[in-house]
Amino acid sequence: MIGIRAHDVGKMPVRDLAREIARRGFRCTHLALHKAITDYDFSLGKLNPGMAREIREAFYKENVYISVLGCYINPVHPDEKIRREQLERFKEHIRFARDFGCSIVATETGSLNADFSYTPENSSPKAFEMIVNSVAELVEEAEKFGVIVCIEGVTTHTVSSPKIMKKVLDEIKSNNLQVLFDPVNLLDANNIDNQREMISEAFELFGDRILVIHAKDLIIENNVKRTVPVGKGLLDFQFLFKHIKARKPGIDILIEDLKPEAMEYSRSFIERLLEE
């Protein structure tokens, strides 16, 4: 099923948001509550089953379902107090995910820099220990509520490659930990020419653990990566979808980083790939 990251459509009241996502032809969404919805207070301690059901029903009315609850935190934030607050916010999402009609809560894996920027320390043993400890804590909570934690690798974050993702999965050893795979997030100027090898490696190492796909595209300008709409850049979508159709038929594909004017083209592009 093809969907979109909700806050790419805009930030607005939930009924308007659900209506707009459906109007643009998408059937599911990656919903980061505080980034997309204006008519609820999502500060820590405010989530509850009634609120979650109201939001769920607004989407169901438009035949859109919530594939993923996005709870973007920095699980290795250098300030222990802030890190603790963010982990608690993620665990709150876990506790009420089922009331949203959703079984997945997802995050990226963060940086030892508070602003998520790159530091070489993200590849250090200290960073690996921190991300494993934080994710293990979230997974322990998820196991209690029958919910899945999905983590997403990024070249500049603590989980920066398929090999490191596999190490985290092996370290935690829980089926309540799975992967949100965004190939563009794991590509940059250093490995763009080897993108097929990276994609193949990811599916070889943890293809069975991939539950959701993020779709966007990239170009490299002056050795710097810039995201562009799907089909407008360098990503080998034919090769990617060969793996997706062989290993994960029917998986939710959530398009992200889109401007409104590119949404119809991007959705149609993905639809054609799925039909080929």
Q: What DSSP string describes the chain?
A: -EEEEHHHH--B-HHHHHHHHHHTT--EEEE-HHHHBSSS--STT---HHHHHHHHHHHHTTT-EEEEEE----TT-SSHHHHHHHHHHHHHHHHHGGGGT--EEEEE---SSTTS---GGGGSHHHHHHHHHHHHHHHHHHHHHT-EEEEE--TTSSS-SHHHHHHHHHHH--TTEEEEE-GGGG--TTTGGGHHHHHHHHHHHHGGGEEEEEE-EEEEETTEEEEE-TTSSS--HHHHHHHHHHH-TT-EEEE-S--GGGHHHHHHHHHHHHH-
- The 10s digit of each residue's pLDDT in 21-78 is 999 999 999 999 999 999 999 999 999 999 999 999 999 999 999 999 999 999 999 9
At 259 the pLDDT is: 86
**Banded pLDDT at 260 (limits 50, 70, 90):** confident
Q: Is residue 229 part of a domain?
A: no
pLDDT at 255 over 90: yes
Asked whether residue 276 carries a pLDDT value surpassing 90, the answer given is no
The mean pLDDT of 240-252, rounded to a whole number, is: 97
Task: Say if 152 falls within a structural domain.
Answer: yes
Structural domains in the chain (count):
1
What tokens does 125 get?
Answer: 């043993």
Tens digits of residue pLDDT in 157-193: 999 999 999 999 999 999 999 999 999 999 999 999 9
Q: Match 């993923």 to its residue by tokens.
A: 68
Q: Does 201 score more than 90 pLDDT? A: yes
Residue linked to tokens 């109201």: 54
Task: Write down the pLDDT at residue 257.
Answer: 85
Q: Tell me, yes or no, whether 228 lies in a domain.
A: no
Q: Which residues contact 128 (CB under 8 A, 6 or more apart)?
A: 158, 164, 167, 168
Domain extent at residue 198: 2-222+235-275
Residue 89 lies in a domain: yes
pLDDT band at residue 258 under the 50/70/90 scheme = confident
Q: Above 90 in pLDDT, residue 153? A: yes
Instruction: Say which residue, 54 or 276, is predicted with more confidence.
Output: 54
pLDDT score at 32 = 98
Residue 93, pLDDT above cutoff 90: yes
What share of the chain has pLDDT > 70, as a percent?
Answer: 100
In a domain, 251, yes or no: yes
Decide if 227 is inside a domain: no
How does residue 205 score in pLDDT terms, banded at 50, 70 and 90? very high
Q: Does residue 137 sit within a domain?
A: yes
Q: pLDDT digits over 11-33, tens only? A: 999 999 999 999 999 999 999 99
**Is the pLDDT confidence value at 87 over 90?**
yes
CB-based contact 147:104 (threshold 8 Å): yes
CATH number at residue 112: 3.20.20.150
Residue 230 lies in a domain: no
Q: Is the pTM of this model over 0.85?
A: yes
Six token digits for residue 134: 């934080």
